[in-house]
Structure 1
Amino acid sequence: MFFTKEALHNINTIGSIQPGSKYLIEKCLKDVEFKRDQIILEFGSGNGNFTAEILKRIPKSTQLISFETNKKFFEHCLEKFKSHDNFKIHNCSAEKFNQLSEIKEKKVDYVISSLPLSLLKKELITSIVQKVKYHLKPNGCFIQYQYSFGKYLFLRNNFNDVKLNFVVRNLPPSFIYKCYK
């Protein structure tokens, strides 16, 4: 109920009225190889249901860095995951991830995003995707889920390989784009 209430007040930045289902989470994380000493970015932690599953799967030496613009979601996740030393969350736009000292010159293994691309301005999407491409390691993966097919060609034009999946058992049903550098 917490997620839905907050989402209804901020639908343009949250993009959904329900958090992702366990089926969506499983499909998004299916091909992720969780290894030691990785850096994983999460764009849009929401109520933390993806965050919790990622933290269950990563070794202690792997760092998960999340970005959440919604103050209530940010505070919720900050409190919920405070015991995880390998987790950091920032209350800022994903567009600014490359300005943080812990990322500035580093390459990342995965970026997992729930950003509502269909609701964002083209310039913002382009800026985020270009920064993600620059910071991804070779063969790194940008995983984006959303509720429309609308950004497939854009992502296809920006990454070497884009694999598309569809999850019916989510409200609403969702497309998953796995974009490889």
Structure 2
Amino acid sequence: MNNTCPKTPERERKDAFLFAKNFFKNPLRNASITPSSVFAGHAMMQGIDFSKIHTVMELGPGTGVFTTELVKKCALNTKIVLVELEKSYVENLRRKFGARVTVENANAQLLDTLLLKHGISKLDLLISGLPFFEEAINDRLLASIKKQTDTGTIFRFFTYMPPVVKRIYKNLPIRKTAFVLRNIPPLWIYGVN
């Protein structure tokens, strides 16, 4: 039914190796040595009514842990756009998900431009896997996220460092939606709407 690469131990090993390689190459861009767990993927999607989701954008999908959950839960006609800066992830995502998603090799700060490019005036769901560093989540991106959430877009993101969340997202009405202990390292999921 969906157009994804089958999940196999070999695929998981390749993804883990790619993730670790990118962590050592640029730890500020890849904030963890391992991809998020399937438990984090499930928790990221909890509480979302996917029958009402028609447009999705995922920022920083990495190896596609959250994307896998999106593809499983979204209707086949749901437009899913992935925005990834790291070229090795882009190639991996295209291979894994094929025509089921559109993968943009771009900076997440171009959110508004990418929405225009894809003819999306309002997102139903915005997922972020971006690291919590000032250069990744800057004022331009925050303004774009706020503009979307002000119109009802569901926004979900995770962090390994909850104190940082309140400082960075101080202008958004964020709330904790989950804590995932079965992840290395454990993580907190937050959301708006």
With the shorter chain as reference, the TM-score category is 0.7 to 0.9
The answer as to 2:35 corresponding to 1:22 is no
Q: Aligned residue for 2:188?
A: 175
Give the unaligned 5+ runs of structure 2.
1-16
Instruction: Output the amino acid matched with 1:111.
Output: L
Instruction: Output the amino acid matched with 2:110.
Output: K
Q: Aligned residue for 1:110?
A: 125
The CA deviation string for residues 4-37 of structure 1, in whole angstroms up to 9 with x for no partner, is 1222212111111111101111111111211256
Instruction: Output the amino acid matched with 1:75.
Output: E
Q: Aligned residue for 2:145?
A: 132
Q: How many residues align?
A: 176
Q: TM-score, normalised by structure 2?
A: 0.82
Q: Any conservation in 2 of the 1:36–1:59 contact (CA below 8 Å)?
A: no
Give the unaligned 5+ runs of structure 1.
none
Instruction: Output the amino acid matched with 2:111.
Output: F
Matches within 5 A, 1:91-106: 91-100=105-114, 101-103=116-118, 106=121
1:153 is displaced (CA, Å) by 2.0
Matches within 5 A, 1:41-120: 41-84=57-100, 87-100=101-114, 101-103=116-118, 106-117=121-132, 119-120=133-134
1:134 is displaced (CA, Å) by 1.0
1:82 is displaced (CA, Å) by 1.2
Q: Aligned residue for 2:4?
A: none
Distance 1:102 1:148, change over 3 A: same
Q: Aligned with 1:65: secondary structure?
A: strand
Which has a greater percent of strand?
A: 1
Q: 2:165 pairs with 104, 127, 152, which one?
A: 152
Question: How many angstroms apart in 2 are the aligned matches of 1:17 and 1:120?
Answer: 20
Question: How many angstroms apart in 1 are the aligned matches of 2:43 and 2:75?
Answer: 20
1:156 is displaced (CA, Å) by 5.6
Question: How many angstroms apart in 2 are the aligned matches of 1:110 and 1:125?
Answer: 20
Instruction: Output the amino acid matched with 1:15.
Output: A
Q: TM-score, normalised by structure 1?
A: 0.87
Question: How many angstroms apart in 2 are the aligned matches of 1:168 and 1:74?
Answer: 28
Q: Aligned with 2:103: secondary structure?
A: strand
1:46 is displaced (CA, Å) by 0.5
1:38 is displaced (CA, Å) by 1.3
**What RMSD, in angstroms, separates the aligned Cα atoms of the two structures?**
2.1
